[in-house]
Amino acid sequence: MLGSLLLAVSRSPLARRTVSGLRATRKVVDRFVAGESTADAVAAVRRLTGSGLTVTIDHLGEEVRDRGAAVEAAKAYVTLLDALRPLGLGDRAEVSVKLSAVGLTLDGDMALGGMALDHVGQICLAARDCGATVTLDMEDHTTVDSTLEILRALREDFPETGVAIQAYLLRSEADCRDLAGSRVRLVKGAYREPASVAYQNKAEVDRAYVRCLRVLMAGSGYPMVATHDDRLIAIAELLADRYGHGRDRYEYQMLYGIRTDRQRELAAAGHRVRVYVPFGDDWYGYFMRRLAERPANVAFFLRALKG
Ligand code: FAD
């Protein structure tokens, strides 16, 4: 309830200005965001990979308003990948891209062949130069068809490209079937969606997650189990055993700053764990979704405001 309210309010420009302008906000943002610059991101990557984790890096930004911003976003990824190349991390460091940050929603550009495809193609090329891969984040439900269409086109040249699928969408089990031979990051879903397209309560979303997971684990692809939920992590391990997915054929993923002890514990137990590392100055949308996921984060934010 509080989460839905926060996601709704977060769309207002006034809320954006107010939250972004508060000095105390920065302290809370720092818990979820690795920093603003490429150097900050590289430092976080060094730290995390040095402690046995792997990473996927997100240059923050979404729904850019003009072509120039989309070009800059693509450049930021290429600059980051150039900075990572000398570290020789290969696929221990990959990147995550929101297509709306590289032009998906500009000029009715939701169709194939547009700016977003060109931009993400450039990012895939730079990633390949580092031995890294790209995963497409999934945004609100109006972008799913175009994201999957761009994914199909990208895979002709970059078959290793992954995509996030949101278990809360009613369509996702079928999408998992279509994608079961490829790299798929399964998430619960972080946007506010209507009942016509998405399950609304937690138990239904969790059950849908397990159904999707079963489809992915039964397939020949590489499931990326992106959740902080211990029950789902345990179920993933059972399903991996049942379908003969060795530990090199799936991985767990969690967000930067969330359940860091659990990330290390899973890695120490021999699992591949990838941390989603966001960086950049356009942190607002990402930050509000993290607050919306957990009332305790709102309390933490309010305490920072007081103190
Ligand atoms: P929940 O039931 O929400 O949480 C389980 C437990 O995890 C909680 O009890 C709590 O202990 C902990 N936890 C969860 N969230 C938080 C938080 N914010 N702060 C502190 N503790 C928390 N969503 C999309 O819609 N599109 C994407 O492309 C996308 N990519 C993602 C990539 C990764 C690697 C991850 C981990 C998540 C991504 N998400 C994405 C977000 C996802 O959809 C969920 O909103 C988010 O992961 C919370 O769900 P959960 O599975 O952790 O389960």
In the chain, the amino acid numbered 71 is V
Residue found under tokens 């290793």: 160
**Least reliable range by pLDDT among 107-116, 156-165, 269-278:** 107-116
Task: Tell me, in angstroms, the distance from the centre of ligand 1 to residue 114's CA.
Answer: 31
CA distances from 294 to 4, 7, 190, 198, 303 (A): 11, 12, 11, 19, 15
Residue found under tokens 């279509």: 178
Cα separation, 260 vs 262, in Å, equals 5
Cα separation, 207 vs 205, in Å, equals 5
Q: Ligand 1: which residue has its CA nearest to atom 9?
A: 229
Atom of ligand 1 nearest to the CA of 205: 2
Complex prediction ipTM: 0.97
Residue 280 confidence (pLDDT): 94
Residue 15 confidence (pLDDT): 79
**Least reliable range by pLDDT among 62-71, 85-94, 227-236:** 62-71
Cα separation, 224 vs 37, in Å, equals 27
Average pLDDT over residues 149-160: 95
Residue 271 confidence (pLDDT): 97
Asked if 96 and 53 touch (Cβ cutoff 8 Å), the reply is no
Average pLDDT over residues 46-65: 95
Residue found under tokens 């079937």: 177
Task: Tell me, in angstroms, the distance from the centre of ligand 1 to residue 129's CA.
Answer: 30
pLDDT interval class at 110 (50, 70, 90):
low
Asked if 146 and 102 touch (Cβ cutoff 8 Å), the reply is no
How many Cβ atoms from other residues are within 10 Å of residue 151's Cβ?
20
**Least reliable range by pLDDT among 133-147, 172-186, 285-299:** 285-299
- 108 pLDDT more than 70: no
Residue 114 confidence (pLDDT): 82
Candidates 12, 9, 103; CA nearest to 61 is 103
Q: Helix (H, G, I), strand (E, B), or coil: what is residue 109? A: coil
How many Cβ atoms from other residues are within 10 Å of residue 120's Cβ?
28
Pocket-forming residues, ligand 1, beta carbon under 6 Å: 137-138, 164, 166, 185, 187-191, 226-229, 253-255, 258-259, 276, 290, 293-294, 297
Residue 212 confidence (pLDDT): 98
Cα separation, 288 vs 279, in Å, equals 15
Residue 113 confidence (pLDDT): 47
Residue 91 among the catalytic residues:
no
- For the chain, list the domains and their CATH numbers: 34-282 (3.20.20.220)
- 2 pLDDT more than 60: yes
Residue found under tokens 């900050």: 40
CA distances from 225 to 66, 182, 189, 210, 218 (A): 34, 13, 13, 11, 14
Residue found under tokens 């972080």: 190
Rounded to two decimals, the pTM is 0.94
Exposure string over 283-305, b if 16+ CB within 10 A, otherwise e = bbbbbbbbbbbeeebbeebeebe
Q: DSSP for 71-89, please give it.
A: HHHHHHHHHHHHHHGGG--
> Which residue out of 183, 185, 272, 274 is catalytically annotated?
185
- 303 pLDDT more than 80: no
Task: Tell me, in angstroms, the distance from the centre of ligand 1 to residue 12's CA.
Answer: 23
- 97 pLDDT more than 60: yes
> Which residue out of 109, 137, 175, 206 is catalytically annotated?
137
Q: Ligand 1: which residue has its CA nearest to atom 12?
A: 228
- 229 pLDDT more than 90: yes
Q: Helix (H, G, I), strand (E, B), or coil: what is residue 180? A: coil
Task: Tell me, in angstroms, the distance from the centre of ligand 1 to residue 265's CA.
Answer: 18
Cα separation, 92 vs 239, in Å, equals 24
Arithmetic mean of pLDDT over the chain: 92
